[in-house]
Amino acid sequence: MNTDKRTEIATLGEFGLIDHLTEPFVARNASLVKGPGDDAAVIDTGADDYTLLSTDMLLEGVDFDLTYFPLKHLGYKAVVVGCSDIYAMNGHPTAITVSIGVSAKLSVEDLDDLYSGIRAACDDYGIDLAGGDTRASVTGLVISISTVGRVAKEKVTYRSGAQLHDLICITSDLGAAYLGLKLLEREKIALGGVPNAQPRFEGYEYLLRRQLKPVARREVIMELEAQGIVPTSMIDLSDGLASELLHVCRQSKCGARIYLERIPIAREVHTLAEELHIDPVTAALNGGDDHELMFTVPLAMQDKVMQFGYGVEVIGHITEESMGAALVTPDGSNIALKAQGFHGN
């Protein structure tokens, strides 16, 4: 390791590290239509459709805790995460590869559970297991999934296409997966060392489902197709609305205004947030793990997208770049969005 000079990774900030590492690479093959910096890479294989490729890594102790995350659900979720990346390009996933680093504490039965979840998700999303790699791990479980998809060339949707005055739309509601995680963490602490204890989850089944069995929004992509709408930009909300909206603004060279009262937050999020002394809006903006889609469409599409049967909400609009990205509160004040947390200005 380098001992002459040491810059901590944290100093590069939210977007800094990936940019710093990938910027020196120069694309050399014409087949690479879009490289790093979107939800998936776009590859022109010479076919009518583009091929999409995304990759996600899940690490034990960082992305999941096996004391409360069942392996079957973990396998299912890992596939959903990849599918959501492909949908965010306005495409359809077709196949995955699964690499796992397996710690010695796991048995064959544990891996059967993990793969039964992977299989269930493959069934639900109509995709194939194309390959993978299995390694011993001396530490925790590592799962790396690469997802392949396809998209018609004229429909591929990037983070970079949002236009001035476009509407900002999101699917379903936000913050529920994060509160589901907080609920699981609370029960882990409460039940620590108590044998055969029953956790208290009544009334919060929705939050658990959003954390343990998320849905990738295939039906939204199909509805966009049915309505003949190609969004001007789209992104998966895996890291939270604030962070992802900042990605779109940066790449589309625009600003944004989103309205606090328009952000859809489930009743259960409000209830548990109050119990746990968490701000539900912070959960919705920064909680992440929702795997909902955010997309932008021209103003003229408003009526069409409001009629989607899948709870698409218009939460704001695209502005001039100089205005930055902000949350507008009911009293009209603007709060600048930050990748983590937000602060009044």
DSSP state of 54: E
Phi and psi at residue 197, to the nearest 5° = -70, 150
Residue 165: C-alpha distances to residues 90, 256, 299, 301, 319 (Å): 21, 9, 7, 12, 6
Q: How far is the CB of 146 from a copy of itself (least distance, A)?
A: 4
Tell me how far apart the alpha carbons of residues 143 and 121 are, in angstroms, rounded to a whole number.
15
Under rule CB under 8 A, which residues in 148-187 are in contact with a copy of itself?
148, 150
Q: Site size for a copy of itself, by CB under 8 A?
A: 87
Q: Contact with a copy of itself (CB under 8 A): which of 80, 83, 90, 136?
A: 136
Under rule CB under 8 A, which residues in 206-225 are in contact with a copy of itself?
none
Choose the stretch contacting a copy of itself; rule: CB under 8 A; options: 90-98, 170-178, 255-263, 308-316.
Answer: 90-98
Residue 202: C-alpha distances to residues 74, 268, 272 (Å): 22, 11, 11
Residue 146 CB contacts under 8 Å (≥ 6 apart), including other chains: 53, 54, 55, 82, 96, 97
Choose the stretch contacting a copy of itself; rule: CB under 8 A; options: 10-18, 223-231, 263-271, 306-314.
Answer: 10-18
Task: Identify which of residues 42 and 285 has a Cβ nearer to a copy of itself in the complex.
Answer: 42
Provide the β-strand partners of residue 293. Answer: 236
Cα angle value 75/81/85 (rounded, 5°) = 150
Residue the block writes with tokens 């049967």: 309
Under rule CB under 8 A, which residues in 99-118 are in contact with a copy of itself?
99-102, 104-113, 115
Residues 85 and 56 sit within 8 Å (Cβ to Cβ): yes
Q: Contact with a copy of itself (CB under 8 A): which of 4, 202, 261, 331?
A: 4
Task: Identify which of residues 149 and 161 has a Cβ nearer to a copy of itself in the complex.
Answer: 149
Task: Identify which of residues 99 and 163 has a Cβ nearer to a copy of itself in the complex.
Answer: 99
Q: Which residues of 129-168 are buried (b: 16+ CB within 10 A; e: fewer)?
A: eeeeeeeeeeebbbbbbbbbbbbeeebbbbbbbbeeebbb
Task: Identify which of residues 74 and 260 has a Cβ nearer to a copy of itself in the complex.
Answer: 74
Task: Identify which of residues 76 and 204 has a Cβ nearer to a copy of itself in the complex.
Answer: 76
Tell me how far apart the alpha carbons of residues 100 and 34 are, in angstroms, rounded to a whole number.
27
Q: Contact with a copy of itself (CB under 8 A): which of 13, 36, 311, 341?
A: 36
Q: Contact with a copy of itself (CB under 8 A): which of 73, 84, 88, 130?
A: 130
Q: How far is the CB of 106 from a copy of itself (least distance, A)?
A: 7
Is residue 1 a contact point for a copy of itself (CB under 8 A)? yes
Task: Identify which of residues 138 and 300 has a Cβ nearer to a copy of itself in the complex.
Answer: 138
Under rule CB under 8 A, which residues in 42-61 are in contact with a copy of itself?
43, 45-49, 51, 53-59, 61
Q: How far is the CB of 344 from a copy of itself (least distance, A)?
A: 29
Q: Contact with a copy of itself (CB under 8 A): which of 13, 14, 133, 333?
A: 133
Task: Identify which of residues 80 and 314 has a Cβ nearer to a copy of itself in the complex.
Answer: 80
Task: Identify which of residues 65 and 219 has a Cβ nearer to a copy of itself in the complex.
Answer: 65
Residues 154 and 230 sit within 8 Å (Cβ to Cβ): yes
Tell me how far apart the alpha carbons of residues 99 and 135 are, in angstroms, rounded to a whole number.
8
Is residue 32 a contact point for a copy of itself (CB under 8 A)? yes
Would you state the structure tokens that stand for residue 200, as one six-digit string? 């208290």
Would you state the structure tokens that stand for residue 5, as one six-digit string? 């000079």
Residue the block writes with tokens 């009209």: 332
Is residue 62 a contact point for a copy of itself (CB under 8 A)? yes
Task: Identify which of residues 141 and 169 has a Cβ nearer to a copy of itself in the complex.
Answer: 141
